[in-house]
Structure 1
Amino acid sequence: MGAALRPSLPVRWSFPRRWLSLLSGAAVTTGLFLILGPAPFLDGLARITPTCLVVAGLIAIVSTVAAAWRWAVIARALGLQLGLSTAVLACYRSQLLNTILPGGVLGDVHRGLSHGQSQHNRARGLQAVFWERTSGQVVQLGLAVLALLVLPSPLRRWWVLVALGVAVLAMVVVLTALRRRTDPSGFRWWPAVLFGSSIAVIGHVATFLLAARTAGVQRPWFELVPLAMLVLVAMAIPANVAGWGAREGAAASVFAAAGLPAAAGVATATVYGVMVAVAALPGAAVLLTGIARRPEPERATAPETEPAADRERVREEVSVRG
């Protein structure tokens, strides 16, 4: 395959932000070690079985396909060609890179650049990934509010609902403002994105519930779902070291607020982290073979005409919103 279709892994992530993410994730993990000791981490690792990893991998297939379909719908709305099979392979690759690289977003930046370069429009490729990730976060926040309102939970407190509601409103305002500047499709893809995002979130929650059961947490599923939703929201914060940090800190805090041992939250997050890492392993084959980099069989879009400043702005948006 020609050199033009082999983009290097993007490193346009500012030095202070990269180190802030790494230091934040390391600080949270170190703090948990100092407060709770290594026992919750080791207990979670000891409870992992091949069966739970296989089940988590099967759930991940559904979630990955749903997210890939969401991305393909948005990419096509923005005038790019993207088949579902290529999108699925690229999503597996980006999941692996997000898992092993700091910040949790570089895999998605690479996904946008790679697809955009194959379509001769890198800025639009990054734009599609930015909309895909941001719209998914909006749906996830909305579902978190719904779960807290509908399901019985000790976390159903006014300040939690207000905080999540404000977050949803802020995300909607940002999306609306950015649409006027960058999105020519007029959000016609929202019904499909809502469906695909809901399936993906259900898959993530199911994996979290499986992790909780594996870690020995014996609470009804309807009590654990709101906890899972809040931890998933916190996981979007790019403050981690290879995925570790914000997830475990959020799980410890949320479990403690719900009257459960913080150690149980850390053990659950540890199991979840291993499940996600193993489920992303197919991305290694994609990364090594480069099969997701082949150009789409359909007609490619015209060469990019966006000025360099626009490309830089969209790249920065994807990096920040991941």
Structure 2
Amino acid sequence: MTELRQKRVRLAVRWLFTVLIIGFVIRSVDASALWQELAGFSPYVLVPALVLTVVQVALSAWRWRYTVERLGLPLDYGVAVREYYLATFLNQVLPGGVLGDVNRAWRHGTGAGERLSAVHGVAIERFSGQLVLVVVAISVAWLLASGQLTTGHWNGGLWLGVGILFVVVAFWLALKVGIADYLQRLRRDLYLSLLNRMVLPVQIGSSLVVLATYLGVFLCLAWGADYLDTAASVAIIAGLGSILLLSMVIPLTVAGWGIREGAAAVLWPMAGLPAEQGVALSVGYGALVLISSLPGMVFLFTGRPENG
């Protein structure tokens, strides 16, 4: 009972922390300008944006199936899509942004009778996507720093904020992988499902396409708000969106809320754009992703998947 109470307290603290960060961000920008930006979003972009999220889940589920099959575990594609929707929903409503994936690994491992390979399969599948995201985000940050991806003057003093973001994310990823990196089993599984020359191009290619769907959602929202008037504006919004996605990897809040909006408030002025525009896009993105994850509720109380 005490342990359950402690978990509830930690959950409440995480939600409170998330709300406090969002409140701080809203107070840090022009609130009236922010509401004006939010009101400017067109409802007509919801359809293409939600279609992109369906493609996103379908591709991610395929990548997961491809990864675990390299480890010798069967996974029906329909089951993979179902479980990915469930994991996405749980990641949206539970703190840390990874508990849905933990549940996905446990359910698959229980159904397949091999839990360690199932855990490695989910971890490697997620790592594949995060690795591509880090490379893209670093490239965008370099373009920002060199002044090649701005609409105004680069504020060099704010570069420290981006640097801190990358350090925190890199430390977290290194810690997560480093804890078990010494294990021979993990090294073997990394080679089989990610690092060998036949598999790596498939992993990188599929992760790039998945990332493109994430950025496509940002662009749909930006298009509906009339932020995209030139090819340069498309490149800037997509580039900044990749760094926002990277900020969400930091597991301090619920589904990245607060961290993402704070990063937007810092990044948009760095590219010569109003902070309110970035925060509005971030809020719109978070709301749309939450809506797109709702099909996962259907599978919340189903039993573990049967794999074949």
TM over 0.5: yes
Segments of 5+ residues of structure 1 without an aligned counterpart are: 1-10, 298-322
Q: Shift in Å at residue 48 of structure 1?
A: 4.0
CA shift in 2, pair 1:97/1:37, >3 Å: farther
C-alpha contact 2:250 2:256 (8 A) present in aligned 1: no
Matched residue, 1:70: 63
3-state DSSP of counterpart to 1:294: coil
Structure 2: unaligned runs, 5 residues or longer:
195-199
Matched with 2:222 is: 212
Measured after TM superposition, the shift of residue 39 of structure 1 is: 3.7
For residue 240 of structure 2, what is the amino acid of its counterpart?
L
Q: 2: distance between equivalents of 1:149 and 1:36?
A: 26
Distance change >3 Å, CA 194–CA 179, structure 1 → 2: farther
Deviations 1:15-73 (A, max 9, x none): 78656643432221010232336546644553444421111111112221221122112
Higher deviation after alignment, 86-95 or 151-160? 151-160
Offset from partner CA, 1:85-117 (integer Å, 9 cap, x none): 211111111111211222222211111111111
Which secondary structure state, in structure 2, belongs to the residue aligned with residue 189 of structure 1?
helix
1:111 has 2:112 as partner: no
Would the aligned equivalents of 1:231 and 1:247 in 2 still touch at CA under 8 Å? Answer: yes
Separation in 2, partners of 1:188, 1:115: 19
For the Cα contact (< 8 Å) 1:208–1:268, is it kept in 2?
yes
Aligned positions of 1:1-322 closer than 5 A: 18=11, 21-36=14-29, 38-39=31-32, 42-43=35-36, 45-149=38-142, 152-154=148-150, 160=162, 164=166, 171=173, 175=177, 178-181=180-183, 182-183=185-186, 184-190=188-194, 191=200, 192-218=202-228, 220-241=233-254, 243-287=256-300, 290=302, 293-297=304-308
Question: How many residue pairs are counted as aligned between the two chains?
Answer: 284
SS at match of 2:299: helix
Quote the Cα distance in structure 2 between the aligned partners of 1:243 and 1:170: 15
| Native 8 Å contact 1:29 1:248 kept in 2 | yes
Q: Does structure 1 conserve the Cα–Cα contact (< 8 Å) formed by 2:124 and 2:190?
A: no
State whether residues 85 and 296 of structure 2, in contact with CA within 8 Å, keep that contact through their aligned partners in structure 1. yes
1:300 maps to what in 2? none
CA RMSD of aligned residues (A): 3.2
Cα distance in 2 between the residues matched to 1:270 and 1:40: 14
Q: What per-residue deviation string (whole Å, max 9, x for no partner) do you get for residues 221-279 of structure 1?
A: 11222211111100111222455211111111111222211111111111111221222
Is 250-259 or 47-56 further displaced after alignment? 47-56
1:225 and 1:69 mapped to 2: Cα distance?
A: 24
